[in-house]
């Protein structure tokens, strides 16, 4: 398949209301040509509805969508020319692999010889050359999703829309296909909008992630940005694991609530006025143990309650005066020998704790 540039997508102030539910609430996004953008959110966050509006299966109540400089908001799906991949694969059960993939070409009245050539090439791209004449029912889930991908790519669309494409597959296969989708996307230069509720998938595949909840985009940024600097407690909680320490904002950080006197903690990033109820957020891998805590402004001791083996890491749950804190430490590191019942010192830097208003959701 020839390399070709994807098209930029502009989504402007989309709104969609179902009954009294705002499924999509004032969503705007600018996606660059060739970019891999993920809409990440739990079910009911509006990510799929947004994608369906771009695909043309749902009409927005207001707002516009452009592909390049072409407005497509009012076009029926068949005139948008976008590739769509569904979670359920949506392959045509009465057609074999070859005819499924040839379908968009037949709709475009492409010559038979040209169809043969293009189908062969895209089958090679998804590594399914040997399955050309198979029935859909004879394929595994992973193979079916490759056929669906081939079918959505064979007519060389400038944009590929993917709705939880790996949601029905087991973990191993999912990771394998993530790599493959990423490779194909980079080779072809196609612009991708990818919908998922799986944060690891979003973090590993995307150029940029837009995190959605209740129909709105909460934050957009590269995986590093949204993970390192979440704009809200909700985003911090949704992306990766987080420790939540509750209390009151002070001039320099947080007065963390305990059973006795509040503990003073230093935090770098604060969006809360001093005196207000606040929650401090620390990532489990940012918490140091024992001797490593020397010199850190935030220190606290507690008792190990639980020790979970995660493979590369160990996860310790430590009961402290400010609540149970989760700590991740490498399995091959010097703290691997810590066992439940032991008392440990935990510590983290001011930069590793962010403060958010306490009322903004979170656990």
Partner 1 sequence: MLSGAVVAVSVYLVLPTLAIIPISFSDTDFIIFPPQGFSLRWYETFFTQPAWRNAAITSFIVATLAAVLATVLGTLAALGLARLGQRLARGLGALFILPLIVPTIITAVAFYGTFSRLGMVGNVPGLVLAHTILALPFVVINVSAVMQKVDWRIVDAARSLGATPLQAFWKVTLPAIRPGVLAGAVFAFLTSFDEIVIALFISGARAVTLPVQMWSGIRFEISPVVAAASCLLLLMSCFMLTLYWLLRKDPVQ
Min separation Cβ 192 and partner 1, Å: 15
Q: Residue from 64, 86, 156, 323 that binds partner 1 (CB under 8 A)?
A: 86
How many residues lie near partner 1 (CB under 8 A)? 28
| Binding segment (CB under 8 A) for partner 1, from list 10-18, 51-59, 237-245, 280-288 | 51-59
β partners of residue 303: 319, 343
Q: How far is the CB of 82 from partner 1 (least distance, A)?
A: 6
Interface stretch with partner 1, choices 83-91, 115-123, 174-182, 230-238 (CB under 8 A):
83-91
Binding segment (CB under 8 A) for partner 1, from list 23-31, 84-92, 243-251, 309-317: 84-92
Contact between 18 and partner 1 per CB under 8 A:
no
Cα separation of 325 and 302, whole Å?
9
Determine which helix (DSSP H) or strand (DSSP E) holds 162, and give its type and residue range: strand 159-163
Cα separation values, 211 from 10, 27, 64, 214, 298, Å: 17, 11, 20, 10, 30
CB of 84 to partner 1, least distance (A): 4
* C-alpha 145, offset from chain centre: 19
> Phi/psi of residue 81, each to 5°?
65, 35
Query: Going edge to edge, which strands form the sheet with 21-31?
Result: 21-31, 9-18, 62-67, 70-71
Query: Would you say the C-alpha torsion 50, 51, 57, 62 has a positive or negative sign?
Result: positive
Contact between 107 and partner 1 by CB under 8 A: the answer reads: yes
Stretch that binds partner 1, among 6-14, 148-156, 202-210, 293-301 (CB under 8 A): 148-156
Query: Phi, psi (5° rounding) for residue 288?
Result: -95, 165
Between CA 264 and CA 130 the distance in angstroms is 65
- First-to-last alpha carbon distance for the chain, in angstroms, is 48
Nearest to 297 by CA among 338, 254, 342, 261: 254
| 135 lies in the site for partner 1, by CB under 8 A | yes
Interacting residue with partner 1 among 9, 31, 53, 55 (CB under 8 A): 55
- Output 93 or 341, the one with its CB closest to partner 1: 93
Please list every residue from 267 through 326 that binds partner 1, using CB under 8 A: none
Q: Which one among 47, 146, 151, 174 touches partner 1, defined by CB under 8 A?
A: 151
Q: Does 93 bind partner 1 (CB under 8 A)?
A: yes
- 91 near partner 1 (CB under 8 A): yes
User: Which residue stretch of 73-81, 188-196, 227-235, 340-348 sits at the interface with partner 1 (rule: CB under 8 A)?
Assistant: 73-81
Nearest CB to partner 1, comparing residues 158 and 223:
158
């Amino acid at each position: 398949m020839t390399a070709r540039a994807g098209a930029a997508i502009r989504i402007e102030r989309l709104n969609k209301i179902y009954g009294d539910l705002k499924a999509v609430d004032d969503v705007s996004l600018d996606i660059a040509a060739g970019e891999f953008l993920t809409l990440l959110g739990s079910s009911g966050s509006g990510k799929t509805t947004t994608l369906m509006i771009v695909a043309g299966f749902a009409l927005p109540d207001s707002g516009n969508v452009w592909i390049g400089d072409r407005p497509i908001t009012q076009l029926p799906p068949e005139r948008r020319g976008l590739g769509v991949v569904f979670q359920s694969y949506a392959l045509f059960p009465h057609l074999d692999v070859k005819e499924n993939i040839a379908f968009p070409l037949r709709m475009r009245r492409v010559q038979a010889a040209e169809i043969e050539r293009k189908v062969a090439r895209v089958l090679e791209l998804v590594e399914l050359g040997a399955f050309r004449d198979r029935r859909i029912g004879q394929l595994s889930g992973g193979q079916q999703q490759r056929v669906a991908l081939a079918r959505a790519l064979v007519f060389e669309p400038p944009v590929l829309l993917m709705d939880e494409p790996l949601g029905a597959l087991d973990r191993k296969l999912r990771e394998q296909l993530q790599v493959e989708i990423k490779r194909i996307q980079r080779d072809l230069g196609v612009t991708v909008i990818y919908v998922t509720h799986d944060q690891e998938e979003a973090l590993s595949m995307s150029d940029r992630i837009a995190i959605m909840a209740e129909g709105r985009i909460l934050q957009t940024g590269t995986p590093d940005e949204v993970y390192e600097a979440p704009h809200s407690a909700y985003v911090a909680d949704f992306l990766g694991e987080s420790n939540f320490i509750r209390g009151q904002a002070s001039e320099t950080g947080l007065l963390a609530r305990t059973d006795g006197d509040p503990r003073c903690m230093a935090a770098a990033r604060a969006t809360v006025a001093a005196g207000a109820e606040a929650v401090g957020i620390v990532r489990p891998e940012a918490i140091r143990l024992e001797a490593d805590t020397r010199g850190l402004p935030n220190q606290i001791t507690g008792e190990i309650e639980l020790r979970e083996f995660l493979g590369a890491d160990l996860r310790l749950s430590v009961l402290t005066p400010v609540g149970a804190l989760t700590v991740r430490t490498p399995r091959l590191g010097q703290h691997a020998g810590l066992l439940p019942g032991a008392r440990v010192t935990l510590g983290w830097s001011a930069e590793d704790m962010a403060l958010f208003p306490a009322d903004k959701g979170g656990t």
